[in-house]
Structure 1
Amino acid sequence: MITIYVYILDTLADWELGYVTSELNSGRFFKKDAQSVSLKTVSYSKDPIHTMGGLTIVPDCLIEDMVASETSVLLLPGANTWSDPKHGTIIEKASKFLSSGVLVCAICGATVALANIGVLDNRPHTSNGSGFLEMFSPCYKGQSFYIDDSSVADHNLITAGSTGGLLWAKQIIEHLGVFQSDTLEAWYNYFSTGKPEHFFALMQTLPSNNEN
C-alpha cells in the first residue's frame, strides 16, 4: 500500500492539493493492478488547522508517527505560515525522506521551507518564478538548478509553483504508476484544456470501458 502523508498547517492553500489528493484518494482512474492508497493528514500537533479557504482539518497523525518506506510519499502544500519555527520538524523529516529515497513533493511556500535548509541548492527544482526563492530565502544558493516551469520532477523530489497544481499532480501520479500512461495523458489534457474530446478519450482508457 502507498501511504500519502499530507502535511497540514494554517493558511494551507486549498487549490494546490485538490487535483492530486482527489485522484489518489478516490482511485477513480486507477489502472486495474494499481497499488491501493492510504491518505493521511499529518501535523505537528493534533489541533485542527484552518485552510486559506476557511476549511477546518483535523490531523490524522503526528510527525513522529510517519514511517519512511519505498511506498511512502510526503506532500507539502503552500501556506503563508511556513516561516513559523514549529514547522521546522517536518522540513527536517522531508530532508531525511529525500535522503532515504522517499518521494517528497513541495509546492509554492513549501519550496521556500526546503530552500531554507539547502535542499534545493544542488538539484533541479522550481517555485513561484525567478527571484521568488531569493526574496524569501536569503540562504538559497540553487539558482543554477532553477527551472522556469510550473512543476519540475527530479527523481524523488517534485516541486511546483502556486499555479502548477495540475502538472504537479500529473508528475506525482506518474511517479507512483497508479494510472495507465494513456489515462494519465488524457486526464491531464482534459483538465488543462476542458475540451470534451479529451474527456471521452479518458473514459475510453479505463479498464471497465475496454472489456468485451
Structure 2
Amino acid sequence: MNPRTVHLAVYDTYADWETGHTTAHLTQNGFTVRTVGPTTEPVTTMGGVRIQPDLALGDLRPEDSALLILTGAQLWDTTDDLAPFAATARTFLDAGVPVAAICGATAGLAREGLLDDREHTSAVSFYLDATGYKGGEHYRDTDAVTDGDLITAGPTEPVAFAREVFARLGVYEGEKLDAWYRLFHDSDASAFEVLES
C-alpha cells in the first residue's frame, strides 16, 4: 500500500465543492492526490471545470493507494456509467484500503451492496431507500459516518467529510482535529491558534 497517495475519482458532472477541503489539506500535509477518470479523457465537473485524469479507473490498484474518494455527480442517479467506480470501491474495501463517499456516491455504494451491513449516512434516508438497498437499519442521520474503512457523508457536509478522512488517515488527531473542524465548520477563530501550535 502507498500510504501517501490518495485517489480522487473524477467524472462528468462531478460535484466540485464536495472535496475541496479534503484534497487541499491532504496535499498540505504531505499526501499526493491523483485523479482517476473512467478513462484518461478529460471530464467536465458540475461547475464546468475540465479535468484531465491522471489515470484511468482500469489502471487503479488498491495497493497503490491510501484512500479512494468518490464524490457526488448527477450521473450516479441518471445512468449506470459510474457503477464501475462502486465496484472498484468494493475491491478497495476487500483489500482493507479505505473509501470515502459523499452525496450521490453513497447511492452508488448502496446499489453495489456496500452499505447493507455498514453504518452510513447520505443526503436523507429515503434517497438511499430508492436504490432498493438492504441497509436502512444502518442509516445514521448525522453529518458524516466512519465505519471501519468506509466514510460516508451527505452533500451539505464537505467539512465533516474532510474531518472523517483526516481522522482515518491520521492527518489531524485529537485537539488539532477538533480545532480544524471548529475553524472551517464553525468559523471559530480561536481554533486557529490550536492548529498553529
TM-score normalized by the length of structure 1: 0.86
1:171 Cα deviation after fit: 0.9
Match of 1:54 among 48, 68, 78: 48
Give the Cα separation in 2 of the matches to 1:195 and 1:69: 38
1:67 aligns with 2:61: yes
Matching residue's letter, 1:16: E
The worse-fitting range, judged by mean Cα deviation, of 154-163 and 48-57 is 48-57
1:161 Cα deviation after fit: 0.3
Contact 1:70 / 1:102 at 8 angstroms: preserved in 2? no
Give the Cα separation in 1 of the matches to 2:71 and 2:171: 21
Give the Cα separation in 2 of the matches to 1:47 and 1:56: 10
Residue matched to 1:210 = none
1:44 Cα deviation after fit: 1.1
CA shift in 2, pair 1:12/1:131, >3 Å: same
Residue matched to 2:82 = 87
Aligned length: 194
Residue matched to 1:181 = 174
Identity %: 38
Contact 2:75 / 2:81 at 8 angstroms: preserved in 1? no
Residue matched to 1:149 = 142
Bigger Cα Rg: 1
Residue matched to 2:20 = 18
Match of 1:134 among 129, 138, 141: 129
1:160 aligns with 2:162: no
Contact 2:5 / 2:33 at 8 angstroms: preserved in 1? yes
For residues 163-195 of structure 1, give each alpha carbon's deviation from its aligned partner in whole angstroms, at most 9, with x where no partner exists: 111111111111111224322221111111112
SS for the counterpart of 1:131 is helix
Matching residue's letter, 1:37: F
Cα RMSD of the aligned pairs, angstroms, is 1.5
Contact 1:70 / 1:101 at 8 angstroms: preserved in 2? no
Match of 1:45 among 33, 39, 49: 39
1:55 Cα deviation after fit: 1.0
TM-score normalized by the length of structure 2: 0.93
1:52 Cα deviation after fit: 1.2
SS for the counterpart of 1:144 is helix
Matching residue's letter, 1:90: F
| Residue ranges of structure 2 left out of the alignment (5+ in a row) | none
